[in-house]
Structure 1
Amino acid sequence: MSNKKSYKKSDEPSNAPSNTKQASFRRRALIGGCAAIAVAFAAGVGIATGTGTGTSSAEEADRPLKVPANSSGADGTLIAYGDSKAGTTIKVYEDLRCPYCGEFERKLGPTLKDMVDSGKVRVEFHLAAFLDKSLGGQGSKTSLAALGAALNESPDKFRSFHSVLFANQPAKETDDDFGSTANLLELADRVPGLRTPSFNKAVKEKTYAPWADKVADVFYDSDVTGTPTVKADGKKLTVIGENGKAVSPKDFTRQVDAAVAAE
């Protein structure tokens, strides 16, 4: 995938705080996204941020780490979906506010889910929150924490809510609708059985915000330089074309099949 159609992370700024991984990575949206941000600041226009119920950033910082059920790896930062015995692992790197990630999920997500459900592959999701730094707001982190609450319910609830979020991204990446827990709970209504008392409480109180920070830290430590990035057993797949649109399901399936055959 061309870097022209992805979100990139730049070099670490010399004055970045050494004790904060998120602060040491400045991410920028190339082409339309970056231009939109530049125009907004040049015009003296602030980036919109969502509002809603939930804890403050200070309260989140003091909260102990709580790891969702059904996660694995160090600090529960690995989010896997599918049969662990599947021969091929697809790693998907995304930010929930990234419009190109939304393009990938809306066009190719159902195809990938069919592959997982058939036992051909398993998926590992590696989610980031860098667009909060680039665009302002808390939408990436707050929605990631809400996904943690869904994962705590079940992997299937996580996968369904993940799809709902990408299908209902804000109209503009500068909008921070996902920063509102009220909006996230409304979207959760679209996943049958998700709105349990424990889920509602965890979203409202941002119980999994510290976990979301850990998940984002793992993303920053990876060698991935843009989103969406999709790898099949380490081989990068082309999922977004030069025109900024997702490749066809047929093309995507061909690439995955080639990776499976190489096993």
Structure 2
Amino acid sequence: MAQADNKQQNKRISARERIQEAQRREQTAARRRQRIVVTVSAVAVLALAGGVAVAINSAGKDDQKSSAEAAPSTALVVPANASGQDGTVITYGKADAPHTMEVYEDFRCPVCKEFEAANGQTVRKLTEDGQIKVQFHLAAFLDKALGGKGSHTALAAAGAALNEGVDKFKAFHDVLYANQPDERNDGFGDVNRVLELADQVPGLKTDAFVKAVTDRTYAPWAAKVADAFNDSGVTGTPTIKVDGKSITLFSGRSAVTPEQFTAQVKQAAGL
């Protein structure tokens, strides 16, 4: 039994190390993109000043690709029930709750899965008295870091669930994490697998939902949500803030207990 526990622990550590390395690569790419934008802007200003039209070749093409390129070139459709700037935030709980918990996640992130398994239900319970609302900020950087399209596909499907209702989104969100494939296996990139998981949410799999997932109706929105995460300044997932204060999610190699998590949230919110 001890040997099996050690193997499982080593697997979690390995997954976390892979995610941390992926996050470091994404941060490096983001800094490179910023430098390119500054350089291009400067050249454009000089060109305008001289009355000259300039065509600029993009150096480091792969790094300049935005999340939007993972989406088909269709019109942007924002799901019903989206909130926040440009509809890139998903608010769960009472919109007028006085305190805000911000949750930053990527559906392919195994460390997010570990946190959700330990405290996902606690997050739900903390909204029940109407004092705290949850704002989900979803990422898709692991598609670039690890290859594939699972983060974007799952996020677009989550948009279709959100269009059916916030409660449907939350239930689908929980099902995705409970059935998350190894992050190196792009399981969520298969639309049929995503639709299969939707069967676990009662009432979710309407004709409209299936069509939206199959047609990738919310893929441009998912790209916009992912870009908003990239611009948020948050450097890793999962990250949780309550009224702007960061919450500790792991103690050593294990997720904090529901009691520890709840105590931190209430302290941050002054409850």
Alignment partner, residue 72 of structure 2: 61
Judge conservation of contact 1:25–1:220 (CA < 8 Å) in 2: no
Alignment partner, residue 220 of structure 1: 230
Paired residue type of 1:66: V
Match of 1:162 among 164, 173, 177: 173
Question: For 1:213 and 1:249, how far apart are their aligned partners in 2?
Answer: 32
Alignment partner, residue 234 of structure 1: 244
Match of 1:173 among 170, 173, 183: 183
Q: Which runs of 5+ in 1 are unaligned?
A: 27-56
Question: For 1:181 and 1:196, how far apart are their aligned partners in 2?
Answer: 15
Larger Rg: 2
1:169-189 per-residue CA deviation (whole Å, 9 max, x = no partner) reads 00x210011001100000000
Cα RMSD for the two superposed structures:
2.6
Q: Number of aligned residue pairs: give it.
A: 227
Question: For 1:181 and 1:129, how far apart are their aligned partners in 2?
Answer: 16
Quote how far apart the aligned CAs of 1:21 are: 11
Question: For 2:251 and 2:62, how far apart are their aligned partners in 1?
Answer: 29
Quote how far apart the aligned CAs of 1:119 are: 1.5
Paired residue type of 1:68: P
Quote how far apart the aligned CAs of 1:154 are: 0.1
Alignment partner, residue 154 of structure 2: 143
Judge conservation of contact 1:127–1:216 (CA < 8 Å) in 2: yes
Which structure carries more helix by proportion?
Answer: 2
Change (3 A) 1:84 1:167: same
TM-score, normalising length from structure 1?
A: 0.80
1:82-120 per-residue CA deviation (whole Å, 9 max, x = no partner) reads 112212100000000000000111110101101112213
* Pairing 1:10–2:20 present: no
Question: For 2:107 and 2:33, how far apart are their aligned partners in 1?
Answer: 27
Q: Which runs of 5+ in 2 are unaligned?
A: 1-15, 38-57
Match of 1:246 among 252, 255, 258: 255
Paired residue type of 1:204: T
Judge conservation of contact 1:80–1:122 (CA < 8 Å) in 2: yes
TM-score, normalising length from structure 2?
A: 0.77
Judge conservation of contact 1:138–1:178 (CA < 8 Å) in 2: yes
* Pairing 1:86–2:97 present: yes
Question: For 1:130 and 1:159, how far apart are their aligned partners in 2?
Answer: 21
* Overall identity of the aligned pairs, in %: 52
Judge conservation of contact 1:88–1:259 (CA < 8 Å) in 2: no
Match of 1:115 among 126, 139, 160: 126
